[in-house]
Each structure stands twice: as C-alpha cells, then as structure tokens.
Structure 1
Amino acid sequence: MSALAALLAPSTGAGRAQEVVQRISEAVHLGLLSDGERLPAEVDLAAQFGVAPMTVREALAELREQGLVETKRGRNGGSFVRHPKSPPIEPQRQRLAAMTVSELRDIVDEHQAVAGRSARLAAERASAVNVRRLFALTEQLRTADGLGDRIRADCRFHIELAVAAQSTRLTRLEASLQAEVSGLLWLPLGPEIDLDAMVEEHHAIATAVVSENGEEARRLTEEHVAGNLRRLTALHLLLTEEGAQL
C-alpha cells in the first residue's frame, strides 16, 4: 500500500465530511497529491473513503473554501488539487502551545522507532526506483521555494523511506506521523531550520540506504528525528512564554 492509499483508506467515521476534509488536506500538504492533479470522481472518492457521495460533496465544498481544491466544469472538468504556498499557521501554533513536553517526547519517540526501522529495512529492500526517489527528494528540499514546498519535500523523503522498506504498516504509520508533526516542526517561529544541515542529513541517510548499510541508515535517521524534539520543545517553550506575557 502506498502512503496516499493509506491516507485515503476507508473512513472510520462514516458520514463525517470533516474526516474526509482532513485526510485529503493532509495528502495535499504532504505532497502525496500533486499540484493540479485531478481527484477521482465523487462516487469513486466516496467508495474509497467508505462514505456517502453527499459526504464527499460537502467535503469538497470545504476544501474549495480552503483553497486546496479547484472545481472546473465541462468535458475536461473535475476537482483539481491546488498546493498552498504555506499550510495554515495559526491552528498549528495553537495545537503546539496546548501540548505538553511529555506529549512531544512521546511523538518523537514513536517517530524514531518507525523511521529508524524503516531506514534499516530500506537498506535491505529498496529498489533502484526508491533510491532515485530519495536522492531526488533530497534535491527538491534543497531547491524548494517557500515553506509549503519545503514541508512537502521533507515529508515525502521520510515517507519514501517507509515505502522503500516495502512495509505497508510502516508506510501508514510514517504518513500519519508526518501529518501530525510536520506542520509543527516547520512553524515559522524562533530560529529558522538550518536547511543546509537538513539536506546533508537526508543525503547521508540516502547514501547509507544505497550502500545497503542498514545499521548506519537506522542510526542516522534516529539522530535526525531526535533533532525534531529539540526544535519542538524550543518552539513550545517560546509559545508558552508568549502566552504568559499576554
């Protein structure tokens, strides 16, 4: 199962348009749906999510309001994906401020376990296509223009590691974790992320995978993810201090 298929799996809450909105918006922000890509017809989307066509229609209307989907009429019409230049900032600020350091640590612990295992298995199982994708996504991160493109390139790299591990469960978990963490990690607060350092780390992980060095790939990936906790904790404390001053 691909990361996109994992996110668009049947809904656990039939009849809930908001869940459909969340799942499609996550796929857009993670770059699993390409800019300009045509979504399946409403009846087909409804079947994918396991909901009624009317539920999908309501979800698409909200996605249009958010600027994530554009609907065109006519023979070549349909609903098309529109990548935002930046994800919504304020909801992510509020979510991070409401979390505790313990909750952040738990998320990063889980991400280290999933990403580290994915990297190790990728070194054993990755195809030539997977490896090319890892290096291409590293280059996309280096040349990304704007916050939205950077988030998508970063997320896709980690998801591709799980895809390269040839594990449906790890891919599903990684996609879910990226949807949960990426918007927080890239919040434009405090010191900027050292993009050059991140690109170097991605390149080193990809090199370990292509070298079939599973232990090195795991170690590098776990160290890379550990840096997320330091940034998330620093941003959380910053928001806490801002809140105390109000």
Structure 2
Amino acid sequence: MAGADEALFRPVRAGNAFEETVERLLQSIRLGVVGAGERLPPERELAERLGVSRVTLREAIHALSDAGYVESRRGRYGGTFVHETLPEPSAGDQRPDLEDTLSVRYVLETGAAELAAMRSLKPPSREHLTATLAEAAAADLTDYRRRDSRLHLAIAEVTGSASLTSALADVRMRVNRLLDEIPLLEPNLEHSNAQHEAVVAAILAGDAAAARRAMAEHLEGTASLLRAFLT
C-alpha cells in the first residue's frame, strides 16, 4: 500500500484545500489504504504531506467524524481512527451520472460566468447579481442550497441568453440531487461564499478571464466533495 499511500497523501491544490483534503482522506478510507479500525497518520505528518494547515486538516477530520467515517481518541494511544463500520453510499438507482453532470456543469457555468463578464451590464442586472450574492452569503444551512442555486442562475440570467439559463437550470437540478446525498459542511460553505464573491466581482469588473477562472475553481471544490462522498 506504500504507493497508494504516497499517491493519496500528496499535496493538495491551494484553491480548494479543505474540499480536496476531505476527498483525499475519504479516498484513503474507501480504498482501504487506511483500513477499518486503523489510525490515520499523525496530524502533523498528515498536514505536511497534504500541504495544508493543521486547522484545515482538523476541519476536514471533523467533517468526516460528523459523517460517521472516523473518530478521535485521546491518550497515549490516541489519534484519529477509521470506524469499524463505514456509512453505506446512498442507493444510486435514480442518481444522475456524476461525471457527466460535472462535465456539463463545468462547461455551462464557466461559460456563463465568462459571458456575463463580457456583457455591458445595466444597473438592474448588476443589482440582481449583488442581491442574490448577499442572499446566498446570509443564508443559513437549511436555506443555503436554494440561495446558492439562485445565485448561479442569476449569473446565467444576466447573460441575456434564455437558452443558456434553461440549460443551466436543468443541470443545476441534477447537481442538487447529488448534493442532497452528501452532508453540508460549514467550512465548505464559507469557502463557497468567498468564491461566489470572487466570481461576481470579476463579472462586475468586466474581467471575463478572471470570472471563468474563479468559477472553475469554485466548481472544482464542489466536484471534489461529490467525488469523495459518492464514488
């Protein structure tokens, strides 16, 4: 398992450090690199190998603990241990194809952000973006998914393309069906809100390349979590 261990516990990318850390840890558990009842590498070592802060690592471990994958034990022989019995993935008979959904979403949403930034947005469109951004940032956990969806649709709407908005709404329905199968993780929501701000700021500044990059980074974080929990 040494090769798999090295491959999974390699440095993550800085843009989505929390999300990719969760993905790497879950992969190591699901693939048996760290087996049921076994202990994860010590926190300091794991943080160094993943190239993340210990705060980020602890947030990722806490998320996996809440989801029922690991538990922390104190004392001389303490550490973070994989549960003997792991949660079963949700039945996927009616689940949209994950990779197909992520691919279509990437094309549509990065394109929508880029196109929105290329438009000369009138005040009502600019206000629509800033209002939906503020609503998403202020949403609590119970309402976050709806407000998040509304912001992503607003970006498509200000492009002026009804066909693009319709297509994005369809893929967002597929995405939300997948997101409903994984836990809402507060560090991810905080990170998403910061990424939303970057996307909207780039659109309002008319910087199409920056808008596309910011949206791509945002989507990659969500994709990491979906792959971690659903595959």
TM-score by length of 2: 0.56
Asked if structure 1 preserves the Cα contact closer than 8 Å seen for 2:182 and 2:229, the reply is no
Return the offset for 1:161.
0.8
Which residue does the alignment assign to 1:59? none
Dislocated runs of 4+, deviation >4 Å: 97-100, 190-193
- SS of structure 2 residue aligned to 1:94: coil
Return the offset for 1:176.
0.5
| Distance (Å, rounded) in 2 between the aligned partners of 1:183 and 1:140 | 22
| Distance (Å, rounded) in 2 between the aligned partners of 1:144 and 1:124 | 29
Asked if structure 1 preserves the Cα contact closer than 8 Å seen for 2:202 and 2:208, the reply is yes
Return the offset for 1:133.
1.9
Return the offset for 1:98.
6.4
Asked if structure 1 preserves the Cα contact closer than 8 Å seen for 2:117 and 2:211, the reply is yes
| Distance (Å, rounded) in 2 between the aligned partners of 1:227 and 1:132 | 27
Please, what is the CA RMSD of the aligned residues? 2.4
Asked if structure 2 preserves the Cα contact closer than 8 Å seen for 1:186 and 1:193, the reply is no
| Distance (Å, rounded) in 2 between the aligned partners of 1:187 and 1:227 | 16
| Distance (Å, rounded) in 2 between the aligned partners of 1:193 and 1:98 | 29
Asked if structure 2 preserves the Cα contact closer than 8 Å seen for 1:127 and 1:164, the reply is no
Which residue does the alignment assign to 1:94? 91
Distance 1:189 1:196, change over 3 A: closer
Return the offset for 1:141.
1.7
Does residue 132 of the first structure (1) align with residue 130 of the second (2)? no
Does residue 230 of the first structure (1) align with residue 224 of the second (2)? yes
Does residue 113 of the first structure (1) align with residue 101 of the second (2)? no
- SS of structure 1 residue aligned to 2:91: helix
| Distance (Å, rounded) in 2 between the aligned partners of 1:183 and 1:108 | 12
Return the offset for 1:194.
1.7
Which residue does the alignment assign to 2:161? 167
Which residue does the alignment assign to 1:151? 145
- SS of structure 1 residue aligned to 2:140: coil
Aligned pair partner of 2:136 in 141, 145, 148: 141
Asked if structure 2 preserves the Cα contact closer than 8 Å seen for 1:93 and 1:184, the reply is no
Gaps of 5+ in 2: 1-88
| Distance (Å, rounded) in 2 between the aligned partners of 1:167 and 1:210 | 18
Gaps of 5+ in 1: 1-91, 238-246
Asked if structure 2 preserves the Cα contact closer than 8 Å seen for 1:131 and 1:209, the reply is no
Q: Give the length in aligned residue pairs.
A: 142
For each residue in 1:137-191, what CA deviation from the matched residue of structure 2 results, as whole angstroms up to 9, or x when unmatched? 22212221342x2111110111111111111111011100111112322445385
| Distance (Å, rounded) in 2 between the aligned partners of 1:142 and 1:158 | 13
Q: How does 1:196-215 map to 2 (within 5 A)?
A: 196-215=190-209
Letter in 2 for 1:182: N
Letter in 1 for 2:159: A
| Distance (Å, rounded) in 2 between the aligned partners of 1:157 and 1:210 | 14
